[in-house]
Amino acid sequence: MHHNSKLPNASTSIFAVMSALAHKHNAINLSQGFPNFKSDPKLIDLVSKAMNLGYNQYAPMPGSLVLREAIARKFDGLYNSSYNPETEITITAGATQGIYAIISAFVRQDDEVIIFRPAYDCYDPTITLNGGKTISIQLEAPLYKMDWQEVRSKVSQKTKMIIINTPQNPSGTVFSEEDMLALQRLTEGTDIIVLSDEVYEHIIFDNEKHQSVCLFSDLKSRSFITASFGKTFHNTGWKMGYCCAPKALMAEYRKVHQFNVFCVNHPIQIALAEYLDEPSHYMELSQFYQDKRDLFLNLIEGSRFKFRSSKGTYFQVLDYSNISKEGDVDFANKLTIDHGLASIPLSVFNDNGLDNNVLRFCFAKTDETLKQATDILQKI
């Protein structure tokens, strides 16, 4: 049987490849972005309580109302921004499913979607599957700074959507208020939808303020926000998240969502509703990860890697150009196989495989793991 692949360029994700390589060579795994410490036992108890109480059948299609109400309260408290829990918030199977259904709901054949590289890997294939065209704007190492003039020059009659991600995976950069205002000016008066991937909203450092699209009224009126409980509560394997948008946009989203998953894990939603109502559960996360970033960077002080400290996310990029000029995929393989430390080469997030000799390391790890990893980096 012959078939034309709908994703001819897609291969096994680099995260799976590097994690498998780490496993094979018994290497410390700072490649894939997941914590190697436990989720709060209180939250796990709440999940088991919900199961014992009988929340084991389908949840309502948009999600359990108690959880949507808790999310709405969080938006009110944190950003003074209101979303109607009935009509403007939907619970998703991780941010990935939300992103998939948002793009599927709006992008048609030949529509253009602007993304910024280095970019998280699910955007481009999802655009392609829906017949859209990815318009990549490459941000340059080491600052990965936005050039809004360039963005303006790439906007056309066909631009359907712009996808942003702040704090940004993999670069660890964040958008400033000026960036958000520039995006708002650029999209004002257009029908462009903004997909704002804010999965790292609670992991932001050095007293920077997270610039959510919901803080800018015109932007908010055209935007989806996607969020991930896995990132916030150390349980990426639960695959739980949510998205929110103004009513008319959310109504279109739900048409797709109901045939994509219909609804997501019910007992975890009930547990999260209660857990989310204690703000310290997410307000203390930035300091927790800032301490890990600082430990990681202090321990590689004096090594031959060059870096600018991450401003958000649980990733730190390191430039190895003082050590070697070989390609980043080869260097990452060598680091894993010969030295026992796995990372992610940044070229896989770039357009045309642009390689700036930079690797991404995940510091969502116990202090002990970080010490072992930095011992290796010091010897390279």
Chain positions contacting ligand PLP, by CB under 6 A: 33, 94-96, 120, 165, 169, 197, 199, 228, 230, 236, 239, 241
CA distance 373 to 236: 22
> Least CB distance from residue 189 to ligand PLP, whole Å?
28
> Least CB distance from residue 344 to ligand PLP, whole Å?
11
Cβ contact 111:133 at 8 Å = yes
Q: Determine which helix (DSSP H) or strand (DSSP E) holds 280, and give its type and residue range.
A: helix 280-283
> Which residue, 99 or 380, is less far from ligand PLP as judged by CB?
99
> Which residue, 130 or 303, is less far from ligand PLP as judged by CB?
130
Residues 6+ apart with CB under 8 A from 194: 161, 162, 163, 164, 183, 187, 213, 219, 222, 223, 224
> Least CB distance from residue 338 to ligand PLP, whole Å?
27
> Which residue, 38 or 334, is less far from ligand PLP as judged by CB?
38
> Which residue, 33 or 132, is less far from ligand PLP as judged by CB?
33
> Least CB distance from residue 172 to ligand PLP, whole Å?
11
- Residue 209 burial by CB count (10 A; 0-12/13-18/19+): exposed, middle or buried? exposed
> Least CB distance from residue 122 to ligand PLP, whole Å?
7
Please state whether beta strands 159-165 and 112-117 pair in parallel, antiparallel, or not at all (unpaired). parallel
Cβ contact 85:306 at 8 Å = no
> Which residue, 15 or 327, is less far from ligand PLP as judged by CB?
15
> Least CB distance from residue 198 to ligand PLP, whole Å?
9
Q: Which residue is nearest to ligand PLP (CB)?
A: 94
SS3 content of the chain, % helix, strand, coil (to 5): 45, 15, 40
The two tokens of residue 131 are 């017949």
| φ and ψ at residue 204, rounded to 5 degrees | -140, 135
